[in-house]
Structure 1
Amino acid sequence: MKSMTGYGKGQARVGGLALTAEIKTVNHRFGDINIKAPRFLLSFDNEIKKRVGERLRRGKIDVYISQEVSESLTTVPVLNRPLAESYMDLFRKMEAWFDLRDGVPLSLLAQQRDVILMQEAAPDPEGSSQCLFAALDQALAEVERMRAVEGQATREDMETRLRLVEQLLEQIKERAPLVVEEWRQKLHQRLERLSGELEVDPQRVAQEVALFADRCDISEEVARFASHLNQFRDLLGKDEPVGRQLDFLAQELNRETNTMGSKSNDAELTRMVVQVKAELEKIREQVQNVE
């Protein structure tokens, strides 16, 4: 089991190119990958998403690629041709206006501001690819380690709470049949006190007890609840993303608990159901962070 929260950082250097990859992940219903990288790496966006998506299946995933300043990176002069042509057009007009015959020297054109620009030499695609994915793989490995550690802690917490829920379920199963019997005894006691004032119909009393038993019957809810718990436990042991399935089962467990609570006509049974709901809410909070 893995958490959806994590952070990883990787660095790599190939030739004169040095890149740093940082990955930050938080909870999200689906897999949402966002990339911020230098312009010369834009062509690698699809490959980055594919590589990240294969290893991080769910979560909001932000990938940051930054280029480090390196003295070994070379700069090259680049001609700003549109600006140079504008200067040459102006110089020729000036020659005509002032009747000049010496021509326009290259040195004059080169001295004009922004005619020649200095730019970093673009890294070669192969070197860029090696450097990028070396840094990215390091960051991914670190994120996965962090998500695995947090996932294990989350699993242990849920297992502890599941054991408590199972204990409460056993108490509910023991208590539920007693509720009808206790209500029947109390009904007979009240009727005995009133026996001198009215005539008691045993058949009508039996019908009332049967109706009460039907309204309070939670055996089906308990059986479904136990089945959902077993499925939940099975998913905890799987070596694959199970967050969505766990979330669905947590909702189903909560639904069965609500039905038990609505049928409860006993203070002690209601107290147990409320405890179960409290633990299920904590479990569901943890499930929201499971990949």
Structure 2
Amino acid sequence: MIQSMTGYGKHVIQLPTKKITVEIKSLNSKSLDLNARVPSSYREKELQIRNILSKSLTRGKIDFNLFIEMTGEATNSKVNEVVVKEYISQLKNVVNGDETELLKMAIRMPDSLKTEREEIDDNEFAEILIAVKEALKEINTYRSDEGAVLKQDFLERVATIESLLKEVLTIDASRIDNVKERLRTAVSELKEKVDENRFEQELIYYLEKYDITEEKVRLENHLNYFREAINSNDSNGKKLAFITQEIGREINTIGSKSNFAPMQQLVVQMKDELEKIKEQALNVL
């Protein structure tokens, strides 16, 4: 089953003193382009988180965000008492003022607060990993749902190309008659005596160059292969892109051989449907 590279997943876990939020966004990309933003206190765990993400998402432009919000009384910022007292002492030499006002001024000075780096809590990190995995489930569900929409669109457009191909084959006989008539008219306008047998041989050779039987067979095979690819268990956008190139090659050849306006109009419609498939295929995982 195909999956889209576009997706979004989010999971929130509330701990006694912290709120942990994991957010994952993805867009289409030729390869895996992973951008992870984690708090500095968990920087040493970033590689582990990246490995989990890359194994699950495999391809796309991924933005991962880990937010940790303090909701309780615990804090890792402390007042640097020695520095604050020194600031107050210096301020007293400058101006006479109320102790409270001097304290307000001192606490805003550089280095008045010191942040103590917390050691990583194993239990807390285990909760973070749970949040990451839940967010991955959500984004993969999103990708699968988007993939189902893409699949339906692909099937409808492939069916349209097949229908147009049938119309091409329906008018193929009249196209050949039209080409023959144009050639005979062109020869008759030369007002020269022509060996009829030689003319028939040249006509057969000429018409063989306009035969589209091989292109028709190959195009049908490519369309069937495209269906098999989107119904397989794997989601391989690169394979679909390759098949669309082959489909385009056969449609272009039919167009170059058609030499008949009604058929060329049908070919233009086939190309239009194929371009829409190519655009959407870029978003397939």
TM (norm. structure 2) is: 0.82
- Residue identity over aligned pairs, in percent, reads 32
Task: Please give the root-mean-square deviation of Cα atoms over the aligned residues, in Å.
Answer: 2.8
Structure 2 CA distance for partners of 1:49 and 1:211, relative to 1, 3 Å: same
Output the amino acid matched with 1:64. Answer: N
Gaps of 5+ in 2: 87-105
The aligned amino acid for 1:246 is L
Query: In structure 2, how many angstroms separate the alpha carbons of the residues matched to 1:33 and 1:123?
Result: 26
Which ranges of 4 or more aligned residues in structure 1 deviate by more than 6 Å? 78-81, 111-116
**For the Cα contact (< 8 Å) 2:11–2:22, is it kept in 1?**
yes
Structure 1 position 278, deviation (Å): 0.5
SS of equivalent to 1:47: helix
Matches within 5 A, 1:65-144: 65-75=66-76, 77=78, 117-119=113-115, 122=118, 124-144=120-140
SS at match of 1:21: strand
In the TM superposition, residue 80 of structure 1 has moved relative to its aligned partner by: 9.9
Q: Distance in 2 between matches of 1:194 and 1:116?
A: 102
Partner of residue 236, structure 1: 230
Provide Cα deviations, 1:109-139, integer angstroms capped at 9, x if missing partner.
xx99777744366254312321211221222
Distance 1:126 1:6, change over 3 A: same
Kept in 2, the 8 Å contact 1:17–1:128? The answer is no
CA distance in 1, matches of 2:173, 2:233: 40
Which of 258, 266, 271 does residue 272 from structure 1 map onto? 266
Secondary structure at the aligned position of 1:25 is classed as: strand
**Cα pair 2:4 2:284 within 8 Å, conserved:** yes
Change over 3 Å in CA distance of 1:64–1:194 after alignment to 2: closer
Instruction: Tell me the secondary structure at the aligned position of residue 70 of structure 2.
Output: coil
2:13·2:127 contact (CA, 8 Å) conserved in 1? yes
2:103 corresponding residue in structure 1: none
User: Deviation of residue 173 (structure 1)?
Assistant: 2.6
> Where does residue 100 of structure 1 map in the other structure?
none
Report the CA distance between 1:75 and its aligned residue. Answer: 3.7
Q: Where does 1:221-260 land on structure 2 (aligned, <5 Å)?
A: 221-260=215-254
CA distance in 2, matches of 1:11, 1:246: 36
| Cross-structure match for 2:180 | 184
**Cα shift at 1:178:** 3.9
Separation of aligned partners in 2, 1:75 and 1:285: 50
> Could you tell me how far 1:145 is from its partner in structure 2?
1.8
Is 1:18–1:131's contact at 8 Å kept on the other side of the alignment?
no
Retained in 2: the 8 A contact 1:33–1:61?
A: yes
Q: 1:118 to 1:190 in 2, by over 3 A?
A: closer
Deviations 1:155-181 (A, max 9, x none): 111111111111111222333344223
Counterpart for residue 288 of structure 1: 282
Query: Is 2:199 aligned against 1:205?
Result: yes
Relative to 1, partners in 2 of residues 1:201 and 1:114: Cα closer, same or farther, differing over 3 Å?
closer
Deviation of the 1:35 alpha carbon: 0.2
- Aligned counterpart in structure 2 of residue 163 of structure 1, from 155, 159, 163: 159
Contact 1:32-1:61 at 8 Å conserved across structures: yes
Per-residue deviation at 1:23? 0.7
Partner secondary structure for residue 194 of structure 2: coil
Could you tell me which runs of 5 or more consecutive residues in structure 1 were left unpaired when the two chains were aligned: 88-110
> SS at 2:26's partner residue?
strand
Residues 42 and 120 in structure 2, CA contact (< 8 A), matched pair in contact too: no
Task: Answer whether contact 2:17 2:70 (CA < 8 A) is retained.
Answer: no
Q: Which residue of 2 aligns with 1:214?
A: 208
